[in-house]
Amino acid sequence: MAHPKRRQSSTRRDKRRTHYKAVVPQLAKDATSGEMHLYHRAHWHEGKLYYRGKVVIDKEVATADEN
């Protein structure tokens, strides 16, 4: 197993850790339903799947078609 020969300084450790950042998710408000959702993602609202303000899947219609 790898074993460090010398102790790494706190400065070097912190320089490595600067790349790990918490990212705030970008949220958008849907014009049709007013629901907050992630950009470029479809979202469910009241049994309907919305994407870019349009209904993609209607859960009630989809279950009625299967029977």
On whether residue 2 sits in a domain, the answer given is no
On whether residue 65 sits in a domain, the answer given is yes
On whether residue 6 sits in a domain, the answer given is no
Contact 49, 43 (CB under 8 A): yes
On whether residue 13 sits in a domain, the answer given is no
CA-to-CA dists, residue 66 to 12, 50, 60, 61, 63, angstroms: 60, 21, 10, 9, 5
Total structural domains in the chain? 1
pLDDT tens string 12-59: 999 999 998 888 889 988 888 788 888 888 889 888 898 888 888 988
Domain containing 32 equals 27-67
* Number of separate helices (H) and strands (E) present in the chain: 2, 5
On whether residue 15 sits in a domain, the answer given is no
pTM of the full predicted structure? 0.54
- Model confidence at 11: pLDDT above 90: yes
